[in-house]
Structure 1
Amino acid sequence: MRKTAALLLLSLPLALTRPARAQAPVRYELAFPNAVHHEARITVTFRELPAGPLHVRMARSSPGRYALHEFAKNVYDVAATDARGQTLRLTKPDPYGWDVAGHDGTVTFTYTLFGDRTDGTYVGIDGRHAHLNMPATLAYAQGLEQRAAEVRFGLLPGWTVASQLQPDAAGTTYSAPNLQYLMDSPTSLGEQQVRSWQEGGRTIELKVLHDGTPAELDAYANQTKKVVKEAAAIFGGLPAYDFGRYTFVANYLPQTSSDGMEHRNSTSLTSRRPLRGPGALDNLGTVAHEFFHSWNVERLRPQDLEPFDFQRANMSSNLWFAEGFTQYFGELLLRRAGVYTDSAYCKEALSGMVDAMLTMPGPKRYSPVHMSQQAPFVDAAAAIDPNNRSNTYLSYYYIGAANALALDLELRARFKTDLDTYMRTLWEQFGSKQQNYAPTRPYTLADLQRVLGEVARDTAFAGQFFRQHITGHELPDYATLLMPAGMLVRPAHPGQATLGARLQFNPADSTATLGTTLLGSPLYLAGLDREDVVLRLDGQPFISAPELQKRLAGHKPGDTVQVEVRTRTGSRTATVTLQENSDLEVVPYEEAKRPLSRAQKKFRAAWLGSKAK
């Protein structure tokens, strides 16, 4: 053994007795020499390592996503060397990682990463930008999770950095205190357009890639400022962001996929919609939802997601609250900020919540807790076999938001309090206190029920609400709940006859192929199912959706029609009884030509009016 190597090995035990944050940071260097072909070349240096193999991994899951995504599938050209540049032997213990043996206390691990999906989960790289979700980007070593990390980006000409990572004074190296924070830090590289302002003693910054004009970004920033103020008003102020700033990492280029992903001091926003016309409103809805997450789920956090495990699917029973209540408040923020009118709020937000809850089969069968537990199978999860979720599932976003709506209205009508107060109380008890970049006291399902009892001053009500609507699947009475606000639940298409089917029309032979038929729908009751081919309706071929609607307009609910079909068991003619279109909508009384009382105006204003000072 050479003397220098012996001294190094003797010093390692002393070095490793230091706290993890005092040990040598993990250093990353990202270069983009082949960006046009969607590749990055990444180098990771691990130093002050104990003796024995180093276990390097790629994450299998990502914070804010609950399914497995197997990011190692886009990694290749892997190599490892020691401090002297000598090649080290790599073995693969499983599909997700590499073991590095024979090192001298230092391992330099290099690989090529492919990425061509710009969203909150994956990696998008091209000649114009790099949008990096860190679990999909950075390899890490088991046992070093508490060490700090330093990242250097090899920027192409004109590129700058948008990230919640903390830059050094020179702005060349970005740091994270530990692996959890590093993996929670999406980063966008490109020609950023920046708008920043002060709010409540914090810096809020929009760092945007887009093809629009500066004026369009100015208008968008002004709308974002209103949303930020309304969100802060609910909680009594902004969170204490770890480095004094919150960053909207926004990519609105044509090559992106629509997504929003919350993070501790930032959010990843991706959309191909521009910052003008209807697209701007859609994008702003994502801004409102994700910004609300900087309280709810990032700091006010469920115990069953803390800490996040990068090597497995993460299941939570509380996504109806973490995501669903955030969905409700995201839309409400747009109304309070004046982005929506009352009519638009009913159309864009309330109608969808109420219709999904009352007309889809899933909420009649399963609870919000059950829907939350399904996230590893539905949250951007990939599978090739058909499923029956049309009849068994409603997204925890929708079922949670719809229950938030019901609870808010009931608290206002019966208990002289509101959901704002509930969220603020939860924040004070479970979110406001943080330590080491994590909540000191994550909440449980029982905590959510207990605090509801405190806010309503009625523990019996809280227990009943949870039994009926959260762990149970009893549907709220929205017609009664919305009445004090002067809003009406009514059929969206009264008297319209329908087959209640999802059809794919086949112009080549004037047929239509069925999707999954819904429980209780006309075709379901007639014994028809997915992939059955409809040949004729009352002797006439299927040509197009408009032609079908024209024919159905000549019928009324309760009429029977003869449907010729080709099924897996052969061809037959089924007698189908038409039903009334079950779609529901929520409208203000004014649109329904109903008088709006003074009490209803007051109730609505207290609910939907601005809370920002």
Structure 2
Amino acid sequence: MPKSTVSLLLALAGSLAFGAEVLAQAPVRYALSFPNAAHHEAQVQVTFSELPTGQPLRVHMARSSPGRYALHEFAKNIYDVQATDAQGRPLALTHPDPYSWTVPAHQGTVQFSYTLYGDRTDGTYAGIDAQHAHLNIPATLAYAAGLEQRPAEVRFDVPADWQVATQLQPTGTTGVYTAPHLQYLMDSPTSLGPQKVRSWQEQGKTIELKVLHDGTDAELDAYAEQTKKIVKEAAAIFGSLPDFDFGRYTFVADYLPQASSDGMEHRNSTSVTNPRPLRNGGALDNLGTVSHEFFHAWNVERIRPRDLEPFRFDQANMSNSLWFAEGFTQYYGDLLLRRSGAYSDARYAAEGLSFLVNDHLNAPGAKRFSPVHMSQQAPFVDAAAAIDPNNRPNTYLSYYTIGGAKALALDLELRQRFKTDLDAFMRTVWQQHGQPQRDYAPARPYSLADLQRILGETTRDTAFAGRFFREHIFGHTLPDFATLLAPAGMVVRKAHAGRPSLGAARLQFSPTNQLTILSATMLGDALYTAGLDRNDQLLKLDGKELKDQKTFDKLLSKHKPGDVVQVEVRSRGQVRTVPVTLQEDAALEVVTAEQAGQQPTAEQLAFRAAWLNGKAK
């Protein structure tokens, strides 16, 4: 073959390759408008261009969402679905399954349009009304199979007094934003409305609060100051802030009466929603969500489990590691409130420690199953909807709680036995598996073996690391919290010592004054041992009718733990009397030694200060 011919062919091949690259990068363009916002509707048009002709286009609505693990079937809230070509002429459209549509034939451009209904303002769905639109992107925007690596352009056509809060990248054109690919787009919650903005610089990066609320500017100013302290303390744990992809991190916050209480982490932002305003205690309640979600900027967004990377939008996502991703974050979320000064020692013990210790030690599920097992249950419990009853009171403890309790136990043990702490462990995990990033994703997502290895490195004791994971992560050994907390001058005690109880099952009087067991009774509880269960009605105690809560409490207070009382019950239509042995109320609480009437030693106070005091410079 002549050299000139070879050169020509090579040039042609290079031209074709370049053309294919350009073709692959043609952006997917979205346009959103809200002409019927008062009735919770948005109009969405998606333009897929430069498509290979002769190949059908398959369009999907997501079935799951980053930060959620169950199926949510977002397609149920879209209708009026149409497809046209570039000139607006209708294209044939089929609907092969509940969450997909197919355009069998086209000339390279498909305009796919639909109406979106959304009336839930939280981190999972879409909330649209005349005041605002809070959009979780998987619940909002359709996507096409095979085009996941294309960039996206999103145009918001909104009222003049609405502004945009999002981690999407601004383009310089009002209302137009971009994402590098589908994974980033789907991870980018967006709030539209009359935003109140507070912005500041931290370590050369922009941190911003973009808030919809009906409070005062002074309330928001005070809230921003508290948030700044949280940001500083979180950064102190890891040594620095993450390298946010576009140099900024955004708290996308809706504190409006129509909002649901929720928080959802994202790579360069978090979606926080709550009906409580930033007043009368609401600020501290909302700050707890801010604290938890901001810690996720490291843990789960960049320090990411291998079994969640990449996230799948077309199926439930199961992980072995949510005890760490969510549970350790739960522990640090409360600890940051203490280190930032939002909590006192006493309040931290009551709000943070008591919750973890009581639930972990008293939940039957924690005595039967491991944190890994609890993590694997997320597709069934993480806002998943089902109508059939289950036995989760006896088989499950949230991976938030069980993981948070393990983090507490590990932190205290590291401080007492190894002269190190959980902060050091988290920093090493960050350095090895969080800091290395590639294409807006972790370059080295971790496995459980990685976490065990790093614990061995932190303690310089691989035998301890192996035993901790074997007993507490893969197993279900319960920590001795009373012993672990004692060096910090903290006391674990019965919250209601001596009080008689029927157990932890939920009991409630109906409007017709019937006392009903609302939840499954729990293993070992008085009602469970007596053979009573969900939906059974307690009619009489000691032969006296149970008419209201006051009567029930008065009758129960006449007894002590260990007494056997006769309870008349209606169980599935049958009325019978059963003996029930009362037990002592099992609820536990953590208090400071001072609250328990003890004088902590200087060593205990020093240990407590090293653990709980702020670390930010």
Identify which range, 550-559 or 344-353, moves more after superposition. 550-559
- Structure 2 equivalent of residue 167 of structure 1: 170
The CA deviation at 1:513 is: 4.1
Q: Using the TM superposition, give the Cα deviation of residue 479 of structure 1 relative to its aligned residue in structure 2, in angstroms.
A: 0.4
Q: Secondary structure at the match of 1:529?
A: coil
Asked if 2 retains the 8 angstrom alpha-carbon contact of 1:490 and 1:586, the reply is yes
Aligned to 1:605: 609
Matching residue within 37, 40, 45 for 2:39:
37
Q: d(CA) in 2 for partners of 1:102 and 1:568? A: 59
What corresponds to 2:196 in structure 1? Answer: 193
Give the direction of change, closer, same or farther, for the CA distance of 1:145–1:323 in structure 2 (3 Å limit): same
Are 2:93 and 1:90 equivalent residues in the alignment?
yes
Structure 1, unaligned stretches of length 5 or more? 1-10
Give the C-alpha shift of residue 15 in structure 1. 7.9
Instruction: Give the letter for the 2:530 counterpart.
Output: A
Q: What is residue 571 of structure 1 aligned with on the other side?
A: 575
Q: CA deviation at 1:552?
A: 1.4
Kindly provide the amino acid, as one letter, of the partner of residue 359 in structure 2.
Answer: A
Find the partner of 1:24 among 2, 26, 31. Answer: 26
CA contact (8 A) 1:511 1:535 kept: yes
Partners of 2:255 and 2:17 lie apart in 1 by: 46
* 1:597 CA displacement: 0.8
Deviations 1:534-577 (A, max 9, x none): 11111111122333222211110000110001112621100000
CA offset digits 1:351-403 (Å, max 9, x no partner):
01000011111100000000000000000001010001011000000000000
**Post-superposition shift, 1:507?**
4.2
Deviations along 1:438-482, one digit per CA (max 9) or x if unpaired, are: 010000000000000000110000000000000000000000000
Aligned residue in 2 for 1:531 = 535
In structure 2, the residue matched to 1:589 is 593
CA positional deviation for 1:102: 1.6
What corresponds to 1:463 in structure 2? 466
Work out the CA distance in 2 between the residues paired with 1:576 and 1:382.
Answer: 34
The offset of 1:278, in angstroms, is 1.6
Q: C-alpha separation between the residues in 1 aligned to 2:508 and 2:364?
A: 22
Tell whether the 8 Å contact from 1:20 to 1:147 is kept in structure 2 after alignment. no
CA contact (8 A) 1:54 1:101 kept: yes
Aligned to 1:143: 146
For the structure 1 residues 295 and 474, does the alpha-carbon distance in structure 2 shift closer, same or farther, using more than 3 Å as the test?
same
Q: Give 4+ residue runs of structure 1 displaced > 4 Å after superposition.
A: 13-17
CA deviations 1:29-84 (Å, max 9, x no partner) are 00101000000000000011012100000000000000000000001001111123
CA distance in 2: counterparts of 1:516 and 1:21, whole angstroms: 57
Separation in 2, partners of 1:458, 1:513 = 49
Structure 2 counterpart of 1:291: 294
Give the whole-Å Cα distance in 1 for the aligned partners of 2:266 and 2:22. 24
Distance, in Å, in 2 between the alignment partners of 1:238 and 1:505 is 50
TM-score by length of 1: 0.97
Match of 1:508 in 2: 512
Give the CA deviation at 1:509: 4.5
Q: Which amino acid aligns with 2:199?
A: S
Deviations 1:162-183 (A, max 9, x none): 0000001233310000000000
Give 2:302's aligned amino acid.
R
Q: How does 1:474-493 map to 2 (within 5 A)?
A: 474-493=477-496
How far is 1:101 from its partner?
Answer: 1.8
Quick one: which of 494, 498, 503 aligns to 2:497?
494
Question: Who is 2:231 aligned against?
Answer: 228
Q: Is 1:332 aligned with 2:350?
A: no
Equivalent of residue 362 in structure 1, options 365, 382, 401: 365
Aligned to 2:49: 47
Counterparts in 2 of 1:464 and 1:21: CA distance versus 1, 3 Å: farther
CA RMSD of aligned residues (A): 1.5
Deviation at 1:200, TM superposition (A): 0.6
- SS in structure 2 opposite 1:89? coil
Counterpart of 1:124?
127
Is the contact between residue 262 and residue 293 of structure 1 (CA under 8 Å) also seen in structure 2? yes
**For residue 433 of structure 1, what is the aligned residue in structure 2?**
436
- The equivalent of 1:5 in structure 2 is none
Q: Tell me which of 204, 210, 213 is aligned to 2:213.
A: 210
- Deviation (angstroms), 1:504: 1.9
Corresponding position of 1:519:
523
1:44, 1:108 within 8 Å by CA — same for their partners in 2? yes
Code of the aligned partner of 1:193: K
- Name structure 2 gaps, 5 residues minimum: 1-12
Structure 1's 185 and 410: CA in aligned 2 closer, same or farther, altered over 3 A? same
Q: Does 1:390 align with 2:396?
A: no
After superposition, what is the alpha-carbon deviation per residue over 1:249-285, rounded to whole angstroms, capped at 9, x for unaligned? 0000000000000000000000001101221111000
The one-letter amino acid of 1:475's match is L
Deviates more, 1:287-296 or 1:45-54: 45-54
C-alpha spacing 1:509/1:552, structure 2 compared with 1 (3 Å): closer
Indicate whether 1:400 and 2:393 are aligned: no
Partner-residue secondary structure (3-state), 1:69: coil
Kept in 2, the 8 Å contact 1:514–1:534? The answer is no
Counting only pairs closer than 5 Å after superposition, residues 437-448 of structure 1 correspond to structure 2 as 437-448=440-451
- The one-letter amino acid paired with 2:570 is R
Contact map agreement 1:511 1:536 (CA 8 A) in 2? no
TM-score (norm: length of structure 2): 0.96
State the AA in 2 paired with 1:336: R
Picking from 180, 185, 200, the partner of 1:182 is: 185
* 1: CA distance, partners of 2:553 / 2:363: 22
With 438-447 and 274-283 compared, the bigger mean Cα shift is at 274-283
Structure 2 distance, partners of 1:16, 1:515, is 63
Q: What is the count of residue pairs matched by the alignment?
A: 603
Give the secondary-structure state (helix, strand or coil) at the position aligned to 1:277: coil
Q: Which residue of 2 aligns with 1:373?
A: 376
How much has 1:594 moved relative to structure 2? 1.1
* Contact residue 32 and residue 41 of structure 1 kept, 8 A: yes
Per-residue deviation, 1:19: 3.4
Residue 21 of structure 1: how far off its partner (Å):
8.7
Identity across the alignment (%) = 69
Counterpart CA distance in 1 for 2:550 and 2:204 is: 56
Q: Please state whether the residue corresponding to 2:454 is helix, strand or coil.
A: helix
AA partner of residue 224 (structure 1):
T
Structure 1 residue 351 corresponds to structure 2 residue 362: no
**How far does residue 601 in structure 1 lie from its aligned partner after superposition?**
0.8
Match of 2:256 among 231, 253, 256: 253
CA contact (8 A) 1:48 1:105 kept: yes
1:150 counterpart SS class: strand
User: Counterpart of 1:307?
Assistant: 310
Asked if 1 retains the 8 angstrom alpha-carbon contact of 2:164 and 2:175, the reply is no
Which has the larger displacement, 168-177 or 182-191?
168-177
CA gap 1:484/1:511 in 2 versus in 1, 3 angstroms? closer
Give, in whole Å, the separation in 2 of the partners of 1:546 and 1:603.
45
Q: Distance in 2 between matches of 1:312 and 1:609?
A: 43
